[in-house]
Structure 1
């Protein structure tokens, strides 16, 4: 009995690994289709949307169909999100260089503010694609959801930071895995943890609504 359970688990792991490899391959091909410059962010958004459906559905989704449909539908918005993040990141780099070179009494204050804003930016970067895939809202709302939900789920955000940090060591230790499952595994972990954060936040909101409703009902009773 134990051997059967273990073999089933091993088979499911191999199947999971196979789909990660397949998604990684599609991501690479669609990046090339968009000549990399225009393909990276839509391919990443399509990857996140496909992984989200994979995690939330009991039945296996059609990976190829789901991925290509998401790639086409989010092509423009994904590029807008991606290049806006790059522009903001570039501003952060310039600001950091200015703070380091600015030898004044205000340097510690500037550096403290920079660190706080930088953490907020990194959280937004981690959650932005899953937030857009999950809520299907406008771009400003996607940024707002990503930041608020990341801040309101500190434990999951810390776990996400730690997971990404550990993955860097995995790619260095086994560099051959990077072109095979590097992108798909990274965004699988990000998407999976983001879904947990979103569902936890939605449950908290629902509990608050029910609490307010009960208070209102008790007042009218």
Structure 2
């Protein structure tokens, strides 16, 4: 028979799964209400901000209220970042599919990989750091993704395998967790990667903050 602690662990795991599904549905709703182009950036930032609090700080505030607050927090800034990513993605994908030159297609495939890495990390960077300008946020996302390449590759592999399994055996679950799974994997990676940025003596005064709170400068001990 299960012990009380076993039931508690099962309940905790089930609650986490439900919360992730809820966050994914909030992301889908925000993206759709924003007609994709306007909704993608704010929805992705809000998802990254909540997961940063949950995974890195162990906080689980009310999902809907916290999510909508994040959507409204930096709306135009996140819309701009979303436009940059979607616009660049449209150009790169078009070149991959329609360019008659094999070299051009190969270069654009490489560019697409770089763009995916930047898109994966830029919203967590916005949520967890005090970097404010769009170029610096994109640059920090690029450095973070390729500076911790082993974690990026491992995370990408987990996302690819999970997506394939859901697509093959449980397509409705893919719809339920589609954006939540990669966002959660990125949050787990940034939890590992951001830790030395806070704790390293070589980086005193590095500001890491909750996205909905006043930034707090964490000095190295």
TM-score interval for Structure 1 and Structure 2 normalised by the shorter chain: 0.7 to 0.9
Unpaired segments of 5 or more residues in structure 2?
205-221
Q: Is contact 1:49–1:133 with CA below 8 Å preserved after alignment?
A: yes
In structure 1, the partner of 2:120 is: 126
Correspondence 1:165 to 2:164: no
User: What is the aligned-residue RMSD (CA, Å)?
Assistant: 2.6
Rg larger in structure:
1
For the residue of structure 1 that corresponds to 2:179, the secondary structure is: helix
Cα distance in structure 2, aligned partners of 1:67 and 1:191: 16
Correspondence 1:102 to 2:101: yes
Cα distance in structure 2, aligned partners of 1:92 and 1:14: 39
Cα distance in structure 2, aligned partners of 1:163 and 1:200: 23
Q: Is the helix fraction higher in 1 or 2?
A: 1
In structure 2, the partner of 1:184 is: 180
Cα distance in structure 2, aligned partners of 1:48 and 1:8: 27
- Shift, 1:185, TM fit: 2.6
Aligned CA distance change for structure 1 residues 186 and 113 (closer, same or farther; 3 Å): closer
Aligned CA distance change for structure 1 residues 37 and 159 (closer, same or farther; 3 Å): same
In structure 2, the partner of 1:52 is: 52
In structure 2, the partner of 1:26 is: 26
Q: Which moved more, 1:68-77 or 1:194-203?
A: 194-203
**How high is the TM-score relative to the length of structure 2?**
0.78
Cα distance in structure 1, aligned partners of 2:111 and 2:31: 30
Unpaired segments of 5 or more residues in structure 1?
211-221
